[in-house]
């Protein structure tokens, strides 16, 4: 998993720390953004293999950030893998994420096994370091 870059977009500091520490054990190179606007700012200067995007955040939520990212991709030709992360676990929430341009959806609390299953669908494999 070494060399795989991940942008964690999450406003809750406890969730940030939990996910950061968990994924660091698998060799991910992780940057953190506290909201969607910070994520867009980070994407101005760096590319990421995976974006783990919370839905409900101040300043700019995850859905709006995803729409902005997808619009940018139309211009620059990049394609980011965006995985929605939310406490809402209804099927309608998953559909909303996918309809807004996210590639997949994952309920909170963060589950490393579910995450591993999702990213394997995109060709990534996790091994502990």
Taking the domains of the chain in order of start, what are their residue ranges? 5-119
Residue-wise pLDDT for 30-86, tens only, equals: 999 999 999 999 999 999 999 999 998 899 999 999 999 999 998 888 889 999 998
Q: How far is 92 from 98, CA to CA, in rounded Å? A: 10
In a 3-state reduction of DSSP, which class is residue 63?
helix
pLDDT at residue 129, as a whole number: 57
Helix axes 13-24, 112-120, angle to 10 degrees: 60
Global pTM value:
0.92
> In the predicted model, what is the mean pLDDT of the chain?
90
Residue-wise pLDDT for 99-116, tens only, equals: 889 999 998 899 999 999
pLDDT at residue 43, as a whole number: 95
Report percent pLDDT > 70 for the chain.
Answer: 96
Phi and psi torsions of 104, nearest 5°: -160, 175
Q: Which CATH class is domain 5-119?
A: alpha beta
pLDDT at residue 1, as a whole number: 42
């Amino acid at each position: 998993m070494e060399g795989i870059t991940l942008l964690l977009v999450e406003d809750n500091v406890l969730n940030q720390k939990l996910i950061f520490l968990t994924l660091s054990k698998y060799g991910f190179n992780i940057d953190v953004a506290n909201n969607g606007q910070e994520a867009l700012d980070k994407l101005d200067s760096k590319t990421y293999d995976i974006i783990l995007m919370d839905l409900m955040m101040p300043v700019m939520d995850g859905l709006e950030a995803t729409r902005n990212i997808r619009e940018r991709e139309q211009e620059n030709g990049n394609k980011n893998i965006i995985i929605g992360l939310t406490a809402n676990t209804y099927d309608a929430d998953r559909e909303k994420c996918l309809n807004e341009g996210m590639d997949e959806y994952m309920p909170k609390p963060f589950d490393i096994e579910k995450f591993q299953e999702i990213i394997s669908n995109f060709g990534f494999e996790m091994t502990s370091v």
